[in-house]
Amino acid sequence: MNTTETAASVTPLFSGETIRNRVAELGAAISEDFRNLGTAEPLFLITILKGAFVFAADLARCITVPCTFDFLSASSYGAAKISSGSVTLRHSLSVANRHVLLIEDIVDTGLTLQHITDELSKQQPASLGICTLLDKPAARKHPVRIAYTGFSIPDRFVFGYGIDYGEHYRQLPFIGFFDT
């Protein structure tokens, strides 16, 4: 299956151009908010894998303040594409006294991010914020404070731009859905 065939069967929600413009706006806002950190204390960007990798790469190129990068693997989804109710984290991050910005693809129930922020907060970072490309407020079951949001979306399953559907469609340059 190639991208052209795949794209023909998907209804776009946000075009690649719309995403690029919004990511640039997010990068500018983050840069402004963290411009006084200086090089001795760079902003620590932690990308939550796998879905946020495309967003994080594009966002990082739009941030103009010094940054360091790392990755965290987290999952709360089972084979049925619904939350399993538990979160598995795989990382060895040290965030004590650092300004941390978590980069997430999509916030729906809030379970994964609540678990991640609870765990990282135990290390007492200087600050801990969340930047998400997509937010589904209607799906929220766990409180999560999001500092930067790309787009709010209805409670529907979306994919593309790094977000998968059964490990497929991450390569799409836009975010879409199957219109069923």
3-state secondary structure 144-178: CCCCEEEEECCCCCCEECCECECCECCCCCCEEEC
**Alpha-carbon span 130 to 100, nearest angstrom:** 8
Q: Which tokens hold the place of 121? A: 């907060």
- 5 contact partners, CB below 8 Å, separation of at least 6: none
Q: Can you spell out the DSSP letters for 78-95? A: -TTSSEEEEEEEE-----
Write down the catalytic residue from 70, 108, 135, 179. Answer: 108
108 noted as active-site residue: yes
Q: Which residues are catalytic?
A: 108
